[in-house]
C-alpha cells in the first residue's frame, strides 16, 4: 500500500480534516464520524498538499484523502469546515442508489461529515484521452461512458456535472470508465446525463479533437439522434449512437 499509513488522530491530518479553516469542533466531529465508519487509518499520499497531509482531491464542499478500512485502501470524502452543505449523507444516498444499477464507486459507509467509498486508481478522462493511443481502448471507454449515462437517465438520477466531465469520469487502470462525484446529483430534476456527456465528448472542441483521432462522426447525424433521445429517451438511441460511432 503506497504512502505512509497513520492513525486518524495523527496531528499531521488536522489541517486536512478541518479544511480550510481549522475548527476544534469540526475536527472532533469528523474524527467521531471516521471512527463510526470503522476507519483504521489515513494514508499520506496524493498530489495535493494541505499542511503536512496529502489529498487526492479538493472541491467546494469536501476534500478527499486515502484511508484504510478492513485492510482495504478507500477514498475518504471529508466535509469542509466552510461547506454550504450541512451533511454529506444526501450525496451518499445518491451514490448508494447509483451503485444499485452498477454506476459509481462502491459506497462503504457514510456519516454527516464523511463518506467512505471505493478508491478508483486511474486517470481522469481529460488526462487519459490526451495520452491514450489505442483506438480499441477509446472505443470501449466511450461505449462504457454512454451506457452508464443511459443507466443514470433510465433510473431517474441526474449527475449534474457531466457537461464538463473531465474530472467526473475516471478511466481505471483496467481501462474501465467510472463516473464519480455525486455531490450535485438529484432524483428530482430532469435527467440530462446522456445529452450532457455527448455534448462534452463530441461538441467540446478540446475533447472532440482528441476523440477524432480514434473515432469519426457526422455532427448532423449525432444531433438528430440526440434530438430523438430528448423527445423520448430509450435504449434504441444508445444503440444508434454506438452504431454511428462504430464502437462495436
154/160 Cα distance (integer angstroms):
15
Is residue 99 domain-shared with residue 184, that is, in the same domain?
Answer: no
Of 98, 118, 138, which marks where a domain is finished? 118
CATH code, domain carrying 139: 1.10.510.10
Q: For the segment 38-74, what is each residue's pLDDT rounded down to a tens digit?
A: 999 999 999 999 999 999 999 999 999 999 999 999 9
* Same domain, residue pair 10 and 93: yes
Q: Are residues 240 and 126 in the same domain?
A: yes
Give the pLDDT confidence score for residue 248 in this predicted structure: 85
- 138 and 29 co-located in one domain: no
**Which H or E element spans position 27?**
helix 24-36
Residue range 211-227: average pLDDT?
Answer: 98
Does the pTM exceed 0.85?
yes
Q: Look at residues 67, 85, 118 and tell me which one is the last residue of a structural domain.
A: 118
What size, in residues, is the chain? 248
Last residue of a domain, one of 92, 118, 144: 118
Confidence of residue 78 (pLDDT cuts 50, 70, 90): very high
* Shared domain check, 128 and 228: yes
What digits encode the pLDDT tens for the residues 84-96?
999 999 999 999 9
Rounded CA gap, 183 and 127, in Å?
22
Residues 211, 214, 215, 219: is their CA dihedral positive or negative?
Answer: positive
Say whether both 156 and 88 belong to one domain: no
Q: Could you tell me if 126 and 81 lie in one domain? A: no
For residue 57, give the H/E element and its range. strand 57-58
Question: Structural domain of residue 84, as residue ranges?
Answer: 4-118
pLDDT digits (tens, 9 = 90+) for 153-179: 999 999 999 999 999 999 999 999 999
Name 110's bridge partners.
Answer: 115
Identify the burial level of 45 via C-beta atoms within 10 angstroms of its C-beta, where 0-12 means exposed, 13-18 middle and 19 or more buried.
Answer: middle
Q: Is 150 helix (H, G, I), strand (E, B) or coil?
A: helix
pLDDT at position 1: 58
Query: C-alpha angle 224/225/228, rounded to 5°?
Result: 85
For residue 47, give the CATH number of its domain. 3.30.200.20
Amino acid at each position: 500500500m503506497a504512502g505512509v499509513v497513520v492513525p486518524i488522530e495523527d496531528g499531521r491530518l488536522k489541517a486536512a480534516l478541518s479544511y480550510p479553516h481549522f475548527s476544534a469542533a469540526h475536527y472532533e466531529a469528523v474524527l467521531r464520524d471516521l471512527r463510526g465508519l470503522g476507519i483504521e487509518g489515513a494514508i499520506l499520499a496524493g498530489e495535493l498538499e494541505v499542511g503536512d497531509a496529502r489529498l487526492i482531491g479538493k472541491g467546494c464542499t469536501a476534500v478527499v484523502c486515502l484511508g484504510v478500512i478492513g485492510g482495504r485502501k478507500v477514498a475518504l470524502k471529508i466535509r469542509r469546515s466552510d461547506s454550504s452543505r450541512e451533511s454529506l449523507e444526501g450525496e451518499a444516498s445518491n451514490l448508494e442508489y447509483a451503485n444499485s444499477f452498477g454506476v459509481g464507486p462502491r459506497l462503504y459507509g457514510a456519516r454527516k461529515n464523511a463518506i467512505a467509498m471505493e478508491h478508483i486508481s486511474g486517470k481522469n478522462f481529460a488526462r487519459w484521452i490526451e495520452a491514450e493511443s489505442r483506438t480499441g481502448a477509446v472505443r470501449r471507454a466511450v461505449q462504457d461512458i454512454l451506457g452508464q449515462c443511459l443507466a443514470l437517465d433510465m433510473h431517474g438520477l441526474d449527475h449534474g456535472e457531466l457537461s464538463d466531465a473531465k474530472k467526473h469520469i475516471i478511466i481505471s487502470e483496467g481501462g474501465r470508465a467510472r463516473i464519480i462525484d455525486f455531490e450535485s446529483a438529484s432524483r428530482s430534476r430532469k435527467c440530462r446525463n446522456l445529452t450532457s456527456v455527448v455534448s462534452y465528448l463530441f461538441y467540446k472542441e478540446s475533447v472532440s479533437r482528441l476523440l477524432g483521432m480514434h473515432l469519426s462522426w457526422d455532427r448532423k447525424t449525432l444531433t438528430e439522434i440526440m434530438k430523438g433521445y430528448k423527445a423520448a429517451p430509450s435504449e434504441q438511441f444508445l444503440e444508434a449512437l454506438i452504431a454511428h460511432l462504430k464502437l462495436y
